[in-house]
Structure 1
Amino acid sequence: MFKLVTGKPGDGKTSNELWEFLTAKEYKGRDKFCTPIKGFEAAKHGVTEIPDIKGWRDLPEGSVIFIDEVQDYLGQRSGKEVPEWIRELARHRHSGKDFIATTQDPMFLDPFVRKLAKPHVHYHRPWNMKMVRHQWDTVQNDPTNKTARKSSQSRFVKPNPEVFKLYTSTVLDTHKAAPPWKLIAVAVVALVCLLGGSGLAMMRLLDMGPKPEPDPVAAHDVVVIDGKQATATGTPFDGLTQKPAINSEASWEPDKLKSRIEGMPWSAPIYDHLTRPNDFPRIAACISSERTGCRCFTQQGTPLKTPEKACEVLVKQGAFDPWKQGRQTAQGGNRSEPGRATTESEGPSEASEGITRVQYNKGRFLW
């Protein structure tokens, strides 16, 4: 294995890979070697430090070699001929050796070795915040490319804090978290617009539902109070302003003043002739979304508890309203009454008993 690890300074390539080099189970019990790492005392951790890797073929079989800043040892070459010790890296697996090489960019590496590298791991720390680890089976010449990142196996990582006690990562940490405030502001504005648009769409859907129509039958309801008939006209809520019912004698008894439902004083028996309902809750609109699920609302915009499957069917197919024609007929009948009351015939007619109506012509009568 020739593992190539890339990443910009401070993105976590050395901290993560050095800790894995020292603690991973697959490297346990094997001879370990490394090139010089600033502040790292190799001997204290069972690692042998080597000045370069030209003599890698002389190392024991099964060795694990950590090469920090590999461009210092296997960088771009000026000559076309590949040195033998580099060419032999193509057969490094024959001796069971594994290499872990870190560098800032894959193009810094010798082209011959770059073609041998597998896997390729790239560390990225956007805006100096969370570290992201990308991995490919082959070397990506530009691991920052969007297409390359989409094809990678990626996950968030966090280096073990103990590793920073083993080597000198930096003298002065100048990499401070810098969240993209402009992008965050744009995202917040977009979210507000989305929520506002959803609310407006819901309100319009509710307005499209059928409006509650007055019940013509309820215009003249005959009710019984203490065994006597009384006529109550108007809507159920006109009782606060209308005159008392004719020929009705309300009995102000304690039992009749007591509410049937606590907190609803109008549910007392004495108000029965004023609080007769003139409508019932109907499904006026149903809305389905991934965030809130499927919900239905009445013609007054109040939520209506509806089974999920039934709600989805109503959203897709709608439902027949068996009461719509009756409401339209009642409304049309009420509108036609004034027209008939104001229509006059052109000839004389009987307006009422004992009175004859004659059409008026200017100048015909002298008085």
Structure 2
Amino acid sequence: MLHVITGANGAGKTLNTLKWVRERSLKENRPVCHNGRFEPVPGGELSSWKKIDFKDWQKEPDGTIFLIDECHNDLPVRGSGAAVPEEVRMLAEHRRRGMDFYLVTQHPQNLDNFVRRLVGSPGWHRHLKRTFGADLVSCIEWEAVNPNCEKSGSGKSGTVTMVGFPKEVYSWYKSASLHTGKKKIPRAVWTVLATVVLVPVMGYLAITGVYKNVTKGAPQAAETAAAKSGSSGATNAGQTRVVTPYEYVQSHTARIPGFPHTAPAYDQVAQPVEVPYPAACVTMRDECRCYTQQATLITMDEATCMLIVKRGFFVDFKRPNADMPLQRQEKPAVTAQLAPVQTVVPQTVPMPEPRERSAPLPQDSYSQGLAARNAQVRSIFQ
């Protein structure tokens, strides 16, 4: 079968292929031939391997394993319409002789197109990518040649495994080139590491900064009061300190931009004294809105708003208004004393003038406020 191994310079193509071929030759007890792009160490693990000219591969016995390093020199891309050489054409019949070819090059497009189309299962194409210049590569395997093997995301269509550099293989051969690859961590990795470190630190600093701004408002207000008392003649110099211009500016800087009342200087006078609640909810023009007791719009989902319109909203934290009129109490009965019976001469009694109708009792302040809010809400939609 045909096996294609590709990868950039320094990706460990030759190193790993030597290991794969040797393991297979020992396991299956098969001879190995190579094209001489590397020099086996005399008496070493590869000393039994035979160096040949690729054009003569058909002269080798059946079952031979061929390792053709830098195969683009022996199987170059041919021009359009050029005849297929005999040694290339016969690769289509290598299987009947039980031979296997391991073809090593930087990219499959450097290989003869006729040969590329012969690669198929149980053969494969493996592309090696070195990880950060370390002695570790990702090995992506496909059943056929992938012409876009070097592109990002190519591993989605293949099987990816991590392969370490077999360092013991270095002692098996003398490479024709020096290994000059250096370990280098990409900038993206540094960026990710910096983000992992800096985000928690910046979050901690932000939280502590907000906490300090919140907690230092009261001491600054106390210092301002102490400074004023000192300027008016306070005798206790230990409790008097003049506020610096910087501290004064900081105390009047709003914590939330656009909301001056959030400045630390106003912490003592800006305490909440009222609870907002839906005092008025109305539906108009297929829209439901709720307003607070100060006629400000409440951010509320429509379902809740419609529920309040339908069933109302009970304010259980509001005390009854003290101005509401009390129920009239019945006057205690008066015990009458019996008097002697006297004869009374009937007299004409003039009819009393009709009394003027008493003025209606004034509404309580809550009712008046509710009426005013309803009027204000109605004016918004008019």
Q: Retained in 2: the 8 A contact 1:42–1:49?
A: no
Q: CA offsets per residue over residues 244-300 of structure 1, 9 Å max, x none? A: xxxxxxxxxxxxxxxxxxxxxxxxxxxxxxxxxxxxxxxxxxxxxxxxxxxxxxxxx
Alignment of 1:38-49 (within 5 A): 38-41=38-41, 44=44, 45=46, 47-49=48-50
Equivalent position of 1:316 in the other structure = none
RMSD of aligned alpha carbons? 3.5
1:18: Cα distance to partner?
0.2
Q: Does the alignment pair 1:10 with 2:16?
A: no
Question: Does residue 22 of structure 1 match 2:22?
Answer: yes
Instruction: Specify the alignment match of 1:34 in structure 2.
Output: 34
Structure 1 residue 171: Cα displacement:
5.7
- Residues 201-350 of structure 1: pairs in structure 2 closer than 5 A: 331-332=316-317, 335-337=318-320, 339-340=321-322
- Is residue 158 from structure 1 mapped to residue 141 from structure 2 by the alignment? no
Residue of structure 1 equivalent to 2:69: 68
1:116 corresponds in structure 2 to 118
Query: What SS does the aligned partner of 1:65 have?
Result: strand
Q: Distance in 2 between matches of 1:60 and 1:102?
A: 22
Tell me which amino acid in the other structure corresponds to 1:90. Answer: A
Q: How many angstroms apart in 1 are the aligned matches of 2:23 and 2:61? A: 20
Which residue type is aligned with residue 128 of structure 1?
Answer: G
Match of 2:30, SS? coil
Does the residue aligned with 1:156 lie in a helix, a strand or coil?
strand
Amino acid at match of 1:120: H
* Percent identity of equivalent pairs: 28
Return the alpha-carbon distance in structure 1 between the equivalents of residues 41 and 179 of structure 2: 22
State the AA in 2 paired with 1:139. Answer: V
Once the two structures are superposed, residues 301-325 of structure 1 have per-residue CA deviations (whole angstroms, 9 ceiling, x without a partner) of: xxxxxxxxxxxxxxxxxxxxxxxxx
2:58 equivalent to 1:57: yes
CA distance in 2, matches of 1:106, 1:42: 32
Report the structure number with the largest CA radius of gyration: 2
Q: 1:82 aligns with which of 78, 81, 84?
A: 84
* Structure with more strand by fraction: 1
The answer to whether the 8 Å contact 2:41/2:47 transfers is: no
1:132 aligns with one of 138, 147, 170: 138
Cα shift at 1:46: 5.1
Helix, strand or coil for the counterpart of 2:38? coil
Question: Once the 2 structures are TM-superposed, how far is the Cα of residue 56 of structure 1 from its aligned partner?
Answer: 1.1
Residue 97 of structure 2 is aligned with which of 95, 98, 101? 95
Q: Which residue of 2 aligns with 1:318?
A: none
Q: Is the aligned partner of 1:146 residue 2:152?
A: yes
Q: How far apart are the structure 2 equivalents of 1:15 and 1:83? A: 29
- The question of 1:179 aligning with 2:185 is answered yes
The count of corresponding residues between Structure 1 and Structure 2 is 215
Q: TM-score, normalised by structure 2?
A: 0.49
Q: CA deviation at 1:91?
A: 0.4
Do the aligned partners of residues 190 and 178 (structure 1) sit closer, same or farther apart at CA in structure 2, a change above 3 Å counting? same
Q: CA deviation at 1:17?
A: 0.9
Paired with 1:171 and 1:145, the residues of 2 have a C-alpha distance of: 26
The Cα of 1:161 is off from its aligned counterpart by 1.5
Q: Deviations over 1:198-248 (max 9, x none)?
A: xx9xxxxxxxxxxxxxxxxxxxxxxxxxxxxxxxxxxxxxxxxxxxxxxxx
Partner of 1:107: 109
Contact 1:34–1:47 (8 Å) recurs in 2: no
Q: How far off its partner does 1:107 sit?
A: 1.2
Alpha-carbon deviation of 1:5? 0.6
Alpha-carbon distance change, 81 to 159 in structure 1, aligned in 2, over 3 angstroms: same
Normalising by the residue count of structure 1, what TM-score does the alignment of the two structures yield? Answer: 0.51
Distance 1:156 1:97 in 2: 28
1:46-69 alpha-carbon deviations (Å, 9 max, x no partner): 533334211111110111111111
- Displacement of 1:127 in angstroms is 2.9
Confirm or deny: 8 A CA contact 1:32 1:46 kept in the other structure. Answer: no
Q: Distance in 1 between matches of 2:178 and 2:144?
A: 35
Structure 2 CA distance for partners of 1:154 and 1:12, relative to 1, 3 Å: same
Deviation track 1:63-83 (CA, whole Å, cap 9, x = no partner) reads 111111111111123461111
- Secondary structure at the aligned position of 1:122 is classed as strand
Taking the aligned partners of 2:167 and 2:126, their CA distance within structure 1 comes to 21
Matched residues in 2 for 1:14 and 1:80: separation?
30
For the Cα contact (< 8 Å) 2:25–2:32, is it kept in 1?
no
1:170 Cα offset (Å) = 7.0
**Structure 1, unaligned runs of 5 or more:** 201-327, 351-367
Runs of 5+ in structure 2 lacking a partner?
207-313, 332-382
